[in-house]
Amino acid sequence: MILIIVESLGAPVAPDVADLQLQSLLQLDALSGVSVTRGSIPFHGSTVPAELRELCSVRSGTLHPDVTAIAAACLPLQLRQHGYHGTAIHGFSGSMFSRNLWYRQLGFDDIRFAPDVLRLKPDASRCGIAFNGICDQDAWDFLLDQVLDDERERQFIYWLTLSAHLPLVADEQRGEQAHRDCAVLSDLQTQFPVCLLIHQHRSLFTRIAGTVASGRFRDTLLIVVGDHAPPFIRPPYRQVFSDTHVPYLIIDIAP
């Protein structure tokens, strides 16, 4: 089982924008042995509450949680009872929001933050302004090469992405690609920051979809879900996304 919480993955209000954002993952449903279920789920607060929502099915607004009282009911310890080895990956510092403490309390067997990824993958590149850490593309490669290759039959891998954290800055190439991504959506053509964010997500999902299509996964449940709506300051950008729900995809890959 692989659970991916995607930074700033909001649910676009317009269906064509939502389809564009998730396109590569949705297309996996056409592959033999792969089924894709799509939906949305209410969100509350920022990223840490989203983590507790997905890992422990609890609603909380705290940013430095003490999970001692709820850990036994959370996914890592629940799955450990069924023989799963739990690994958590995040491309930033473990001290941020005390994740290095409460990830361990939740029962993950291995925890990999930015320094751990760099030690095992020294060529990993860094991205981000407010939170400069391991780029999502390299974190995904790390997940594939360093975690999946340990050949355990039952693994629970949790990955909190990073690169889509606002603000985003585009070089010339990424800017052109973002404009192309939104070219068919007339209502977004003047909203470049939104297009850049959608391009960021599309790039990640294209990479993930390519891995699934290559046959790398077997007998795997892959869950992709947003943490919260993108926290744009300008109302026109915020109004592109639901202020109550985030999207999720459940990708079931047969043995």
Structure-token match 């990999």, residue found: 112
Alpha carbons 174 and 179: distance in angstroms, whole number: 9
Q: What is the per-residue pLDDT across 31-67, written as a single tens digit (0 to 9) for each? A: 999 999 999 999 999 999 999 999 999 999 889 999 9
Structural domains of the chain, ranges and CATH numbers in brackets: 2-253 (3.40.720.10)
Tell if the pTM clears 0.85, that is, is over it: yes
pLDDT above 90 as % of the chain: 83
- Statement: residue 187 has pLDDT above 70: no
Let me know the angle formed at the C-alpha of 97 by 91 and 99, rounded to the nearest 5 degrees: 60
Could you report the per-residue pLDDT of 93-150, keeping only the tens digit for each? 999 999 999 999 999 999 999 999 999 999 999 999 889 999 999 999 999 998 886 6
Q: Please, what is the angle between helix 192-213 and helix 172-181, to 10°?
A: 90
d(CA 136, CA 160): 9
The reported pLDDT for the residue numbered 12 is: 95
Three-state helix/strand/coil letters over 131-170: CCEECHHHHHHHHHHHHHHHCCCCEEEEEECCCCCCCCCC
Secondary structure string (H, E, C) spanning 167-232 = CCCCCHHHHHHHHHHCCCCHHHCCCHHHHHHHHHHHHHHHHHHHHHHCCCCCCEEEEEEECCCCCC
